[in-house]
Amino acid sequence: MIDAVVFDLDGVLVDTETVWDDVREALVRERGGHWHAHAQADMMGMSSVEWSRYMHEELGLSESPQAINDEVVARMLVRYRADLPLIDGAVPAVERLADAFPLALASSSNRPLIDAVLQTSGLERHFAATVSSEEVARGKPAPDVFLEAARRLGVAPRLCAAIEDSSNGLRAAHAAGMRVIALPNAHYPPGTDALALADVVVGTLRELTADVVRAR
C-alpha cells in the first residue's frame, strides 16, 4: 500500500540540471578554477554544503564555500525568473497525484530555489511538505532528505513512493525504503546499477498516474 508520494525537483519537475551545470561551470571558469567533464555528475544530489565545498576544494575556487553557495543561488534565481524550465507535463502530473495522495518534495536544491520554483509554477499549494537537503545532515545518495520528507508528512517511508531521475536520487530513495519510481534524466541518465533499484520506470510524466504509483 502506498499512502504518500515524494517528488524530486530538478530533473523531475523542472529541467534544471543543465542550468546548474551552466551556472557552476561559468563561475568556476570566471574565477580561475579547474572545471572538468565529471564535475556536474559528481555534484548531482549533493547538498549545498557539499557541492559548495566540492567547488572550493576540488574545482579550485578561492572563495569560501558559503560565498560560492550564495553566488550560485543568486545566479540560479536570475535564470529561474527569466525562464522557469518546467518539464512538459509537470503541472498535470502533480495535480493528478495530489488528487490521490498527500505530496512532499525532497530536493537537493537550496530552499530559496525550491520556493521560487513552486511559487512561480503555482504548484506550491499541492505539497504538504518540502525539504531541502541543506536542512538535513547528508545529501543524496544518503536517504536523509527522503526520510525527513516522510517524517513531515507523518507517513512511514515504506508507505511512500519516491519519484527520481538521477543515480544518486534513486539510491537515496531506495535507501529510505520507499517504492522507487524512476523517470530517467535525459541529459544525465542514471547508471544501470542505480536504475536497477527502481520498482518501476516511466519515460515521461504523462505516464505517471495513481495506478502506476500503487502497482506492484
> Rounded CA gap, 116 and 96, in Å?
22
Are residues 138 and 190 located together in one domain of the fold? Answer: yes
Are residues 97 and 133 located together in one domain of the fold? Answer: yes
The tens digit of pLDDT for each residue in 121-147 reads: 999 999 999 999 999 999 999 999 999
Model confidence at 44, pLDDT cuts 50, 70, 90, reads: confident
Looking at the chain, the whole-number percentage of residues with pLDDT higher than 90 is 89
Q: What is the pLDDT of residue 79?
A: 92
H or E stretch covering 20: helix 17-30
Q: What is the pLDDT of residue 186?
A: 83
Q: Is 80 exceeded by the pLDDT of residue 216?
A: no
The answer to whether 212 touches 181, Cβ cutoff 8 Å, is yes
Model confidence at 47, pLDDT cuts 50, 70, 90, reads: confident
Last residue of a domain, one of 25, 57, 82: 82
Are residues 93 and 180 located together in one domain of the fold? Answer: yes
Are residues 137 and 192 located together in one domain of the fold? Answer: yes
Last residue of a domain, one of 82, 102, 133: 82
What grid cell was written down for 46?
549533493
Q: Quick one: average pLDDT of 149-163? A: 98
* Structural domain of 52: 17-82
Q: What is the pLDDT of residue 18?
A: 86
Q: What is the pLDDT of residue 215?
A: 85
Q: Quick one: average pLDDT of 17-21? A: 88
For position 99, which CATH number holds? 3.40.50.1000
Helix pair angle (17-30, 48-57), 10° resolution:
30
Are residues 56 and 33 located together in one domain of the fold? Answer: yes
Are residues 154 and 59 located together in one domain of the fold? Answer: no
> Rounded CA gap, 136 and 114, in Å?
15
Q: What is the pLDDT of residue 76?
A: 95
Nearest to 145 by CA among 116, 117, 104: 104
The answer to whether 35 touches 25, Cβ cutoff 8 Å, is yes
Q: Peptide bond preceding 184: is omega within 30 degrees of 0, i.e. cis?
A: no
Q: What is the pLDDT of residue 209?
A: 97
Secondary structure (3-state) at 197: coil
Last residue of a domain, one of 67, 82, 97: 82
Are residues 51 and 103 located together in one domain of the fold? Answer: no
How many domains does the chain contain in total? 2
Are residues 47 and 72 located together in one domain of the fold? Answer: yes
Model confidence at 166, pLDDT cuts 50, 70, 90, reads: very high
Looking at the chain, the whole-number percentage of residues with pLDDT higher than 70 is 100
Handedness of CA 143, 140, 189, 187 (dihedral sign): positive
The tens digit of pLDDT for each residue in 76-106 reads: 999 999 999 999 999 999 999 999 999 999 9
Secondary structure (3-state) at 131: strand
The answer to whether 117 touches 132, Cβ cutoff 8 Å, is no
Are residues 49 and 9 located together in one domain of the fold? Answer: no
The answer to whether 94 touches 8, Cβ cutoff 8 Å, is no
Q: Quick one: average pLDDT of 9-33? A: 94
β-sheet bridge partners, residue 57: none
Q: Is 90 exceeded by the pLDDT of residue 17?
A: no
Nearest to 13 by CA among 155, 159, 169: 169
Q: Is 90 exceeded by the pLDDT of residue 40?
A: no
